[in-house]
């Protein structure tokens, strides 16, 4: 079926509605990518190449504040662990283990659930006839993810018996449970911050969360030192400090949003709308995207934590080397993550604009950018593999083991980049379920069984665990890239986006009519 004609809406051509000049050149006016165009005039090909180059650098610029934001956000937990760890090895173990569990069981609800806004929010911003529909999606995201926190909170409250069944020491299980109980206080603030950050990113406002995190970073250090080392709270001052930080971050981002001239010009805030937020069909649509998004994030995180736990069974030296490698990998992972966020927003916005060509080019540009960045990281890691371990350890044996494993870590950087960027493009389309499926198969059917077998049965040790991760990430990256390259009907995705926006607008209009 031929693509439907682009419907011109005055709202879609106002600069404030188009990411404040990010789309001043309408991608729907790019030269067609049909066969006749490919063999067409030199001017058409030059124009297409110029727009692709602009798109490449635009995605790069958008991804930089997201990368910095993610680094700062990770550092909040890292600083807490470092400060608490100075109390002793038990306190270090409790803090690290508690925050690992918080990530896998709780924060994945925030980071995965808000990926629904990558689809609904970004497409509504440019595609809806009512700018305020975006704020309804945001409010619904916050409320429904808060509801999902209820079972998470119950799990944290009764974590001790679960850990005892899993073979953990009694004193560790007891303290981890109390640590998580205190951290529940900050969990709603964490979700609020993540949701509001996505709400702004859907509008192309990428720097706001970075500025907030730069402000709260020193506050986090002061609060953690004060509560942990200068009060009787000790270890349990850490979750209290983190809870304050999460709520403070949410509050500061709310203030920045209120005073943002770009946000004001976009006209996306329509006030609190409880009836619209709780509309049943819209809530179901949200969960259809949020649940796969949670699985998409959670399955990957859990897989890497399982590798860390497995490394601990190999002995103290492999565990120390694993800690160094995991810390480096978490830092490096911010690069494809940032590109993926920029890609999801851009692809979703262009689908909302009904530009199949623009969305396709944005997805391909993001994939190319991730390959370039991944190649640079791979070359850097390979050239520094013998010394990079000294960044975090003075132990020669640890550094030598890191140098042996590092080539495997370097080898999956391009695949990791593709997984990040193409995963972002899939979220922009509303196909989070594919990412969740590929992650599950790659990690739990292939990577973990292979890695554990090589580590414990074939005497590869720590190398075996990371060979498994190399296989898993390669499968995810290639699979998602193939979907973007040949497995996406972009005209169909545009039609889905149009239908999604129209259905939401119709439901909200019915609520408005019933109120009147």
pLDDT at 516: 39
Q: Is residue 340 pLDDT above 50, yes or no?
A: yes
Q: What is the pTM of this model?
A: 0.87
- Mean pLDDT within 295-300: 93
Tokens of 371: 């390959």
Q: What is the pLDDT of residues 172-204, one digit of tens each?
A: 999 999 999 999 999 999 999 999 999 999 999
Question: What percent of the chain has a predicted confidence (pLDDT) above 70?
Answer: 89
Indicate if the alpha-carbon torsion angle 449, 296, 71, 244 is positive or negative.
Answer: negative
Q: What is the pLDDT of residue 23?
A: 42
What pLDDT score was predicted for residue 29?
45
Question: Residue 38: in which H helix or E strand, if any?
Answer: helix 35-38
Tell me which of 432 and 22 has the higher pLDDT: 432
Confirm if 234 and 91 have CB atoms less than 8 A apart. Answer: yes
Give the model's pLDDT for residue 453. 96
Q: Find the mean pLDDT for residues 271-293.
A: 94
pLDDT in tens, 420-432: 999 999 999 999 9
Residue that wins the pLDDT comparison between 288 and 320: 288
DSSP track, 466-508: HHHHHHHHHHHHHHHHHHHHHS--HHHHHHHHHHHHHHHHHHH
Half-sphere exposure of 189 (CA within 13 A, CB side): 18
| 22, 78, 413, 451 from 330: Cα distances, Å | 30, 11, 12, 19
Q: Is 281 helix (H, G, I), strand (E, B) or coil?
A: helix
Q: Provide mean pLDDT across the span 478-489.
A: 95
Q: Which of 44-58, 86-100, 364-378, 455-469 has the lowest mean pLDDT?
A: 44-58
pLDDT above 50 (res 266): yes
**Least trusted range by pLDDT, from 61-70, 221-230, 403-412, 436-445:** 61-70
Give the separation between CA 29 and CA 510, rounded to whole angstroms: 35
225: which 2 tokens?
């030192």
Q: Are 217 and 72 in contact (CB under 8 A)?
A: yes
- Looking at the predicted structure, is the pLDDT value of residue 55 above 90? no
**C-alpha to C-alpha distances, 27 to 9, 30, 35, 182, 262, nearest whole angstrom:** 15, 5, 19, 49, 22
Q: Could you give the CA distance from residue 116 to residue 141 in angstroms, rounded to a whole number?
A: 8
Asked whether the beta carbons of 213 and 69 are under 8 A apart, the reply is: yes
Residue 37, CA distances (Å) to 27, 44, 83, 439 in order: 16, 7, 60, 37
Q: Is residue 51 over pLDDT 80?
A: no
Question: Cα dist. 155→68, 143, 150, 304, 306 in Å?
Answer: 32, 20, 9, 21, 19
For position 400, what pLDDT does the model report? 94
Going by pLDDT thresholds of 50, 70 and 90, the confidence category of residue 394 is: confident
Q: How far is CA 29 from CA 6, 23, 47, 126, 358, in A?
A: 10, 11, 11, 16, 9
- Reported as a pLDDT band with limits 50, 70 and 90, residue 169 is confident
At residue 325, φ and ψ (nearest 5 deg) are -65, -45
What does the pLDDT look like over 128-165, one tens digit per residue? Answer: 888 999 999 999 999 999 999 999 999 999 999 999 99
User: Residue 25 pLDDT > 80, yes or no?
Assistant: no
Over residues 96-108, the mean pLDDT reads 92
Q: Look over the chain and give the mean of its residue pLDDT values, rounded to a whole number.
A: 88
Contact present, 286 and 144 (Cβ < 8 Å): yes
């Amino acid at each position: 079926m031929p693509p439907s004609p682009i419907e011109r809406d005055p709202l879609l051509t106002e600069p404030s509605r188009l990411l404040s000049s990010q789309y001043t050149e309408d991608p729907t006016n790019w030269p067609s990518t049909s066969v006749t165009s490919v063999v067409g005039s030199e001017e058409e090909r030059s124009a297409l190449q110029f727009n692709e180059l602009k798109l490449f650098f635009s995605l790069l610029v958008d991804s930089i504040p997201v990368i910095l934001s993610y680094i700062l956000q990770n550092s909040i937990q890292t600083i807490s662990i470092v400060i608490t760890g100075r109390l002793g090895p038990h306190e270090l173990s409790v803090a690290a283990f508690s925050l690992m569990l918080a990530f896998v069981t709780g924060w994945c609800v925030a980071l995965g659930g808000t990926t629904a806004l990558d689809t609904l929010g970004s497409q509504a911003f440019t595609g809806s006839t009512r700018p305020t529909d975006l704020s309804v999606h945001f409010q619904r995201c916050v409320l429904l993810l808060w509801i999902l926190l209820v079972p998470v909170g119950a799990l944290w409250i009764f974590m001790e018996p679960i850990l005892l069944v899993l073979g953990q020491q009694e004193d560790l299980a007891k303290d981890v449970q109390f640590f998580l109980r205190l951290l529940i206080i900050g969990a709603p603030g964490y979700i609020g911050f993540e949701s509001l950050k996505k709400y702004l990113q859907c509008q192309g406002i990428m720097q706001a969360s970075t500025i907030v995190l730069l402000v709260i970073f020193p506050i986090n250090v002061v609060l953690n030192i004060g509560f942990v080392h200068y009060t009787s709270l000790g270890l349990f001052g850490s979750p209290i400090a983190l809870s304050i930080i999460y709520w403070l971050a949410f509050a500061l981002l709310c203030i920045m949003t209120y005073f943002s001239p770009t946000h004001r010009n976009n006209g996306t805030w329509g006030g609190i709308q409880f009836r619209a937020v709780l509309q049943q069909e819209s809530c179901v649509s949200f969960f259809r995207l949020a649940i796969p998004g949670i699985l998409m994030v959670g399955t990957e995180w859990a897989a890497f934590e399982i590798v860390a736990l497995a490394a601990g069974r190999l002995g103290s030296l492999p565990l120390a080397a694993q800690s160094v490698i995991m810390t480096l990998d978490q830092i490096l992972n911010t690069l494809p993550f940032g590109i993926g966020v920029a890609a999801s927003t851009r692809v979703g916005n262009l689908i909302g604009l009904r530009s199949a060509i623009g969305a396709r080019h944005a997805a391909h540009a993001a994939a190319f950018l991730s390959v370039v960045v991944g190649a640079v990281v791979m070359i850097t890691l390979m050239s520094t593999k013998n010394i990079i371990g000294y960044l975090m350890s003075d132990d020669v044996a640890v550094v030598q083991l890191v140098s042996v494993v590092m080539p495997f870590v370097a080898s999956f950087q391009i695949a990791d980049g593709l997984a990040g960027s193409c995963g972002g493009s899939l979220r922009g389309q509303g196909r989070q379920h594919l990412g969740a499926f590929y992650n599950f198969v790659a990690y739990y059917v292939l990577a973990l069984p292979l890695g554990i077998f090589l580590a414990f049965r074939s005497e590869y040790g720590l190398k075996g665990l990371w060979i498994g991760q190399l296989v898993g990430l390669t499968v995810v990256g290639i699979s998602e890239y193939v979907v973007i390259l040949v497995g996406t009907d972009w005209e169909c995705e545009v039609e889905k986006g149009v239908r999604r926006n129209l259905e939401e607008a119709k439901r909200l209009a019915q609520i408005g009519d019933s109120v009147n």
